[in-house]
Amino acid sequence: EVQLVESGGGLVQPGRSLRLSCAASGFTFDDYAMHWVRQAPGKGLEWVSGISWNSGTSGYADSVKGRFTISRDNAKNSLYLQMNSLRPEDTAFYFCARGQYSTTFGDIWGLGTLVTVS
């Protein structure tokens, strides 16, 4: 079964760090770019970051640039999001999603992990 499972969320104080992981299974991980998308409770979707299949290209939303770092380990079929200098406005469900880098993404999504900054 094609699946993405996020982990690493939790309650963290402002200014602290957190690392999210996304474990992929059921497909050839390095055939795809990967993305992180977040959703504050009761709010809309916001693209956070994306990374190409070979880590050669990555990008960030302005709201997280300089604080968050996306990475992947194709040998471990895993995607990561290192989040530093967390702010209350970073509180959200964080989803990982599979796709291409700049044409389409999201044919597969994880269920999300909740990050609360308080």
Contacts (CB under 8 A) with other proteins, residues 3-62: 35, 37, 44-47, 50, 59-62
- DSSP sequence for 5-31: EEE--EEE-TT--EEEEEEEESS-GGG
Measured from the CB of residue 109, what is the shortest distance to other proteins in angstroms? 4
Cβ closer to other proteins: 24 or 112? 112
**Count of C-beta atoms within a 10 Å radius of residue 85:** 13
Site for other proteins in 62-91 (CB under 8 A): 62
Residue 106 in the binding site for other proteins (CB under 8 A):
yes
Other C-beta atoms lying within 10 Å of the C-beta of residue 16: 11
Which residue, 62 or 75, is less far from other proteins as judged by CB? 62
Closest CB to other proteins among residues 15, 40: 40
Show the tokens assigned to 85: 């200098």
Q: Is 118 in the site for other proteins (CB under 8 A)?
A: no
